[in-house]
Amino acid sequence: MQDFKIRFATEADAGLIFDFIKGIAEYEKLSHLVEATPEKIKKHLFEPNAVAECLLAFEGEQAVGFAVYFHNYSTFVSKPGIYLEDLFVNPDYRGKGYGKSLLLKIVEIAKDRDCGRVEWSVLDWNKPAIDFYESIGAVAINGWTVYRLDEEMIGKIGSSK
């Protein structure tokens, strides 16, 4: 990997992170769901009560990918874990090992923080991602279905006391 590096994002990178979010949303055919803004990114990733972290990958001075993750907790393992929310490498830079390097950096962070798990979700049609994850030894957790309450439902349930 020629002149490749990974670093933690800073508040000044909020616009760049936003561009990556738009890129992954376009790839996943979910652009219509993006509500992110650079201002929201600054608030949630860089203010004192930050809820997530971000790594940026560079080839030379060119930003080529990102990973956004946050901590969760496993009661069964009785340890913190890392949930990888997004991992994305711009299409022009794929096949160079950059995505794998970002994922391995997350694993390194998990080891340093004594995490019991690193988990993520992948769209069932995204065969290149599934093949990539399985090639590094990740296993699908079958038998579990993800449920979600969106902001509207949270508001409705919260106000129905």
> In the block, which residue shows the tokens 């798990």?
117
Backbone torsion region of residue 13, taken as left when φ is above 0, otherwise alpha when ψ lies between -120 and 50, otherwise beta? alpha
Catalytic residue among 27, 98, 133, 147: 133
**Burial per residue of 81-107, b for 16 or more beta-carbon CB atoms within 10 angstroms, e otherwise:** bbbbbbbbbbeebeebebbebbbebbe
Catalytic: 147?
no
* 14 touches 38 (CB < 8 A): yes
Tokens representing residue 57 in the block? 């990958």
Report the number of secondary-structure helices (H) and strands (E) in the chain. Answer: 5, 5
Catalytic residues, by residue number, are: 133
